[in-house]
């Protein structure tokens, strides 16, 4: 199959509705209730009726068969459903699968959804099995895995904990502009705050780690021809690709190079755009090291140079690169699996710039004239990498 055949998905589908629900603390609400509420809100946003939904895509840490449970709860009888579980990036891969199913004519309206009440239900939640050959040593997963990568990164490239801390400082600065962010009222962070936070797994401290919150999200997708008739600005899927090389951190071929190198290359190729064309850059920042790795692996700088790129708040609101503009998993929201929130922010920035009302931000929180966003999802322990490129209609 040649590249033209693969690229047939470019621009064929669009997100026409989106919503989040229960972000922060949603005491008394179940993961399913939070997820289903997001789906209904996203359908309202799209102006599409529930009975039109014939594709359901979901994964959570609460449901072993999430797509089936969600379909039943909604009262939807899908013609195609997928609950593939590849960690926090699952939703970006669901978007690719949904695009394929829509383009093939198997379905007409897809919802991709997530919901979690992990914070109000007692903390980080996983349904992962114990990893053979690792569990015996009692790693504090997933933190230990990311700490091992961070340590190796610091060693190979002469990076410091201060370089990692710069990522958390910029993420917080974005959150201060976003009233939806969990830390919106918490004030700015300094590098010293990050360095002096409680150590979790050296070299990562508490403020190098994402938040633990509740929250759900959903997007509604259709083919592009139908998208034009919905009530909001459609945002088109221009490129999508995934790759993974390991499940266990001990099997990661190189701790400082993720398979985002491959997913990014193919997603950008499908889109016809380059990293520097992106108006906004939304990266799955479960830990500060992620942002450095993904800026490099997606092609925003060379390997080992992200520590320079993030200096002087260059990825903050006043910087040159608009990275994790909601505040990220570090400072906005992180209900266990963050992939759909990366996606939501990529889409919201484009819709806001197109004139849609997608909420209020303080001055500088919305990116003027945003036309293209990259959303990058990470799952497991730097394992699954999925890249989606989104654009407004004149980027088609």
Residues 6+ apart with CB under 8 A from 321: 281, 295, 300, 309, 314, 315
For 257, counting Cβ atoms within 10 Å of its Cβ (0-12 exposed, 13-18 middle, 19+ buried), the class is middle
Q: Is 202 in the site for another protein (CB under 8 A)?
A: yes
The one segment of 44-52, 141-149, 290-298, 321-329 that binds another protein by CB under 8 A: 141-149
Q: Which two tokens stand for residue 20?
A: 């989040």
What are all long-range contacts of 191-196, with beta carbons under 8 Å and residues at least 24 apart? 191/162, 191/165, 191/166, 194/161, 194/164, 194/165, 194/168, 194/169, 194/288, 195/161, 195/162, 195/165
| Among 201, 293, 342, 372, interactor with another protein by CB under 8 A | 201
- 152 is a site residue for another protein (CB under 8 A): yes
Contact pick of 84, 248, 275, 359 for another protein (by CB under 8 A): 248
Q: Could you say which residues in the range 345-374 bind another protein, by CB under 8 A? A: none
| Choice from 58, 70, 101, 148 touching another protein (CB under 8 A) | 148
Residue among 56, 111, 147, 367 that touches another protein (CB under 8 A): 147
Q: Which of 27, 64, 128, 155 binds another protein (CB under 8 A)?
A: 155
Structure tokens that stand for 373 in this block: 């966003």
Residues 250-289 that bind another protein (CB under 8 A): 250-251, 255
Among 21, 116, 149, 324, binds another protein (CB under 8 A): 149
DSSP state of 79: S
Q: Is 137 in the site for another protein (CB under 8 A)?
A: yes
Distance CA 179, CA 351 (A): 18
Size of the site for another protein (CB under 8 A): 26
Cα diameter, the chain: 56
Both structure tokens of 379: 């799952």
Q: Should residue 194 be labelled a site residue for another protein when binding is judged by CB under 8 A?
A: no
CB 165 to another protein: min, Å: 18
Residues 83 and 329: their CA atoms lie apart, in Å, by: 23
The tokens of 10 are what? 């470019």
Q: Which of 140, 228, 274, 302 binds another protein (CB under 8 A)?
A: 140
Of residues 1, 133, 185, 276, which one binds another protein by CB under 8 A? 133
Minimum separation from the CB atom of position 359 to another protein (A): 38
- Residue 139 binding another protein, by CB under 8 A: yes
What is the C-alpha separation between 188 and 15, in angstroms, rounded? Answer: 33
Query: Judged by CB, which is closer to another protein: 203, or 336?
Result: 203
Interface residues with another protein (CB under 8 A) are: 132-134, 136-140, 144, 147-149, 151-152, 155, 198-203, 248-251, 255
């Amino acid at each position: 199959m040649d590249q033209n055949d693969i690229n047939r998905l470019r621009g064929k589908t669009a997100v026409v509705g989106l919503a989040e629900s229960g972000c922060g603390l949603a005491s008394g609400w179940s993961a399913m209730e939070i997820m289903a509420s997001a789906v209904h809100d996203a359908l309202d946003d799209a102006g599409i009726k529930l009975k039109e939904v014939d594709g359901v895509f979901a994964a959570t840490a609460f449901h072993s068969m999430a797509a089936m449970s969600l379909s039943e709860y909604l009262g939807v009888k899908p013609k195609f459903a997928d609950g593939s579980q590849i960690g926090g990036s699952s939703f970006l891969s669901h978007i690719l699968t949904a695009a394929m199913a829509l383009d093939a004519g198997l379905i007409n309206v897809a919802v991709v959804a997530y919901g979690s009440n992990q914070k109000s239900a007692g903390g980080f939640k996983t349904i992962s099995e114990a990893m053979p050959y690792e569990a015996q040593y009692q790693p504090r997963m997933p933190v230990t895995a990311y700490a091992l990568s961070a340590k190796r990164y610091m060693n190979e490239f002469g990076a410091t904990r201060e370089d990692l801390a710069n990522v958390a400082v910029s993420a917080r600065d974005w959150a201060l502009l976003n009233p939806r962010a969990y830390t919106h009222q918490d004030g700015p962070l300094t590098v010293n705050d990050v360095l002096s936070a409680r150590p979790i797994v050296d070299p990562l401290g508490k403020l190098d780690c994402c938040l633990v919150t509740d929250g759900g999200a959903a997007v509604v997708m259709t083919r592009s021809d139908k998208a034009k008739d919905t009530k909001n600005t459609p945002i088109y899927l221009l490129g999508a690709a995934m790759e993974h090389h390991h499940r266990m951190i001990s099997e990661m071929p190189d701790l400082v190079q993720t398979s985002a190198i491959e997913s990014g290359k193919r997603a950008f190729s499908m889109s016809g755009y380059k990293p520097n064309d992106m108006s906004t850059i939304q990266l799955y920042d479960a830990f500060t090291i992620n942002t450095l790795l993904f800026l490099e692996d997606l092609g925003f700088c060379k390997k080992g140079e992200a520590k320079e790129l993030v200096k002087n708040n260059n990825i903050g609101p006043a910087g040159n690169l608009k990275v994790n503009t909601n505040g990220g998993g570090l400072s906005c929201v992180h209900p266990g699996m963050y992939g759909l929130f990366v996606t939501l922010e990529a889409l919201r920035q484009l819709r806001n710039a197109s004139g849609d009302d997608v909420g209020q931000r303080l001055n500088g929180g919305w990116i003027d004239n945003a036309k293209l966003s990259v959303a990058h999802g990470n799952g497991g322990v730097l394992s699954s990498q999925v890249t989606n490129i989104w654009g407004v209609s004149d980027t088609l």
